Chain A
Amino acid sequence: MASDRSLPTYWFTIVAAATFGMFGLLGWHIYSSHRVGHALQAEHARGLRLTNAMYSQNLRLAHLCHLVVFDGVLSEVEKYWDTANQMDGHLAEIVAGSDRHQMESVARARWVNRGLRQRERDAMRMSAQGRQDEAAAMLQNARYRSLMSEFDETVDDLVDDLNTTFSRRLEIEGARDRTMLVGAFSIFLVAAAVWLVLAVRLRRWGAKLQVEMALRERAESQLGEAQKMEALGQLAAGVAHDFNNILTVILGFVDIARKAVGAARENALEKIGMAADQGTEVTSSLLTFSRRSEAEMGALELGELVQQTQVLLQGMLPATVRVLLESNPPGEEFWVWGNRARLQQVLVNLVLNARDAIPAGGDVTIRLGRIETSRKHGVPRICLEVADTGSGMAPEVKERIFEPFFTTKPRGQSTGLGLAIVAAIVGEHRGEIQVETEAGAGTCFTLSLPEFIVDDPEAETTSPVGSRPVWIFSADPYIAGFIASALARVGCRTQEFSLSDSAIGSARIEERPALVVMDAEERQARVPEYLRLLWNRAQQIPVLVLSSDGSELGEGTLEGPVMVLAKPFMVTELVALVTRLVGSDGIYDPGSSGR
């Protein structure tokens, strides 16, 4: 089901739209409420300001009229007209800003104002004509007073109307707010629901993905093993062929040996031995290949591995394909730290790949060398090339060859994992792989692996290291024996002693040792004492102390040539150090030590 495997984008679109819609609506609403609230407040304040002005101006007009009529201050007439005009202006303003609910109060206010102003103007005219009594009566009669109080009531009504209108509009705004909030909340609910659906689906997809990944990992490892089995199957055919030959030879010579006597019998037995040796060679190569120990990494010599693999490969290649071995410089050893079986698998895969590239026959060259110039992380690298004289690869094929399941061979003939596994194994060994190819000019795979530096690793039969012996002191005879054997393998003469005062005191000093190796474990505190005792017997004998704690041998505490090798250390490290310290002439040379 496609929808179960991929996340449909429309779900995300819905969620995004709902979320944006909700926030957009809320934002717009906050803005518009703020704007409308401000407008309402301003309008209400203006109404109140106008009504207040009308109160005070009405009183001022009455006062000015009284001054003109009763006190004869004619100069106030002009002020009166100004104020009356202002009053008209306010009224006109109120008319402009009022809605239909206020129109009645406004019309009444205008009518009362007109009545009052008419009477005041009449009173001022009578006063100007000298009709003082009539004018005073005009301003004091009941009608004028009732109009005055009616004006106040009308303005009060106006204020009431303003407040009512303000409240009504606030209510309308509140209702709008509620509608908005309900809308936004609905959108929020929609968004939350979609998020929930999405979260559930994501969780389900995640679980499925994990199961699929686990399945894929298992399948990949099984396929890796299957690829090895595929190569092993091809090997088996070759090995069976070799073995049949060997067994035929053995049976034949056994038959001869039974009947023959003397030299002929000896000869037959020798041939049987030779055939068996060949068989051993084949099985040992096969064993290293089929071993399944993943953690087994160790120092190994690539030249030897290549030679062993060649024995296996011969059975798998047609007679038209030659495998050539080259090493540069010739006879050199190339040590790396790696897993023998895995690296052999790399070699078999690369050579089988080369074989398939030269169906008509040709040469496959395995070349070993050291990359001296380009040093990565300061470690020289060993390079292993597998080159064929085949048809080469097109660039688009070259780009994809290390992809798992990529194959140019017909379906069913290849898993397409061979080179992917090569790349993975090279990666495990902190190596790099490059491929050079050109259509018609063959293909060359170049592996580079960090060199494993050992000092004279296979010096079992080399010339003796030093003419004088190395003394080994240890409280544990097993360790002393072990170290002695390890040093003996590189040609050191050794003598083992128990680590004690009496052993040091009684060691035969006639033949002065080249070096003393002292395993100080458990008796570390007494090491200075032992050293003094030793140097009393033979001055300035160089001592290599093996210890997990060298604090007792701090600077200046001892006067003599002493060096500490901190535990734990590799046995090869100890052998290399002793070999360097003792040198080929058996003389201790502290300057040659690396530690």
Chain B
Amino acid sequence: MGYMTRVLVVDDHALMRDMLRERLNQEPDLEVIGAASNAEEAMLFVEDLAPDLVVLDIDMPGLSAFEAARQIRHLLPDTRVLFLSAYVQDGYISQVLQVRACGYATKGNSPESLIACIRKVAQGGTCFSGEIERRLEIGVDGVRLANALRTRAETLTPREREVLIHLARGASKKVIAKTLGVSVKTVEQHCIHVMQKLDIHDRVELARFAVREGMVEP
């Protein structure tokens, strides 16, 4: 028997999570070693089990999937991350590339195509659909969303983006500070930068912007 790729499945949708676990376990070369319902829980699994590959749903409550991916890369550079989402959105594509994830698969496709994608990533490749690849360019700073498609949202740093997502979801600065493990003052600084960069100075408008850019679901 060859090497089994040890997979961690992270999705807040219980049925989806169970289905993925069942389905992936049926494959001879894949083994689901854990299933988490949010990014915080996923980080605990990652620390304990050191999976080869993490299938990470993008839109989940709590810690953002992108922040989790960043932490995973820092913690276990050899663990590969494959994002999974119901939507293909420019905002997501940008962030997936920013955290240098190995792929971005969509939920609408058949389980077979997801398995093929997981295999490809497990073998050291990347998995981006043709639809996404056509939106990308290679520039001085690596692979990125084509210039013409980039929006103001892409000017935000990952941390600022994180803060914006929490703000859009209605979290207070105190709660955000607690979630991110930083001081309230730091969060306030991030808020100021976000508002300056986006030229939006109203919390409601910020939330609308985040929804429009696909950072949070309406």
Contact = CB atoms under 8 A, between A and B. Distances in A.
B131 A572 contact: no
Interface string A210-222: 0000000000000
B126 A482 contact: yes
A478 interface: yes
Interface string A531-566: 000000000000000101000000000000000000
Contact of A571 (B86, B90, B124, B133): B133
Contact of B151 (A280, A295, A519): A295
Given A293-B90, A457-B134, A482 B143 contact: yes
A519 B143 CA distance: 12
A479 to B, nearest CB: 6
B138 A458 contact: no
Interface in A467-494: 476, 478-479, 481-486, 488-489
Interface in B192-218: 212-214
A298 B88 CA distance: 12
Nearest to A292: B212
Given A287-B87, A298-B149, A567-B139, A485 B120 contact: yes
A584 B60 CA distance: 45
A460 B142 contact: no
Nearest to B107: A280
B130 A568 contact: no
Contacts of B41: none
Given A296-B149, A297-B148, A479 B134 contact: no
Contacts, number: 92
A547 to B, nearest CB: 9
Interface in B100-135: 100, 102, 108, 120, 124-128, 130-131, 133-135
Contact of A479 (B89, B143, B148, B151): B143
B142 A478 contact: yes
Given A481-B124, A568-B140, A284 B108 contact: yes
A296 B188 CA distance: 31
B27 interface: no
B89 A568 contact: no
A570 interface: yes
A236 B133 CA distance: 32
Interface string A278-304: 001001100100011111111100000
Nearest to A488: B125
Contact of B212 (A287, A294, A570): A294
Contacts of B131: 298
Contact of A570 (B108, B136, B213): B136
B140 A548 contact: yes
Interface in B138-158: 138-140, 142-144, 146-149, 151
A284 B126 CA distance: 24
Contact of B140 (A280, A567, A575): A567
B183 to A, nearest CB: 33
A291 B213 CA distance: 11
A152 interface: no
Nearest to A296: B90
A569 interface: yes
A283 B137 contact: no
Contact of B134 (A298, A483, A488, A519): A298
B134 A485 contact: no
A77 interface: no
Contacts of B126: 478, 481-482, 484-485
Nearest to B152: A295
Contacts of B120: 485
B125 A572 contact: no
B108 A280 contact: yes
A297 B147 CA distance: 12
Contacts of A548: 139-140
Given A292-B212, A293-B214, A479-B143, A298 B138 contact: no
A569 B130 CA distance: 16
Interface string A47-67: 000000000000000000000
A260 interface: no
B142 A570 contact: no
B133 A479 contact: no
Which of A287, A295, A488 has most chain B Cβ within 10 Å?
A: A295
A227 B133 CA distance: 32
B134 A572 contact: yes
Nearest to A522: B140
Q: Which of B89, B102, B138 has the most CB of A within 10 A?
A: B138
Given A280-B108, A293-B214, A488-B125, A478 B134 contact: no
A479 B142 contact: yes
Given A280-B108, A294-B212, A570-B136, A485 B125 contact: yes
A483 B126 CA distance: 9
Contacts of B124: 481
B148 to A, nearest CB: 7
Interface string A196-240: 000000000000000000000000000000000000000000000
Nearest to A277: B110
A492 B126 CA distance: 15
A489 B133 contact: yes
Nearest to B103: A485
Contacts of B86: 287
Contacts of B137: 568-571
A489 B125 CA distance: 11
A478 B143 contact: yes
Contact of A299 (B134, B142, B212, B214): B134
A295 B149 CA distance: 6
Given A478-B100, A570-B146, A296 B140 contact: no
A521 interface: yes
A479 B131 CA distance: 18
B148 A521 contact: no
Given A293-B213, A568-B138, 7 more contacts: A291-B89, A292-B212, A568-B147, A569-B138, A571-B134, A571-B138, A572-B134
14 contacts: A283-B108, A284-B108, A292-B212, A293-B90, A293-B212, A478-B142, A481-B102, A486-B128, A489-B133, A569-B137, A569-B138, A570-B134, A571-B136, A572-B133
For the complex of A and B, 10 pairs with smallest distance between CB atoms: A568-B139, A485-B126, A571-B136, A299-B134, A568-B137, A548-B140, A485-B125, A570-B137, A284-B108, A478-B100
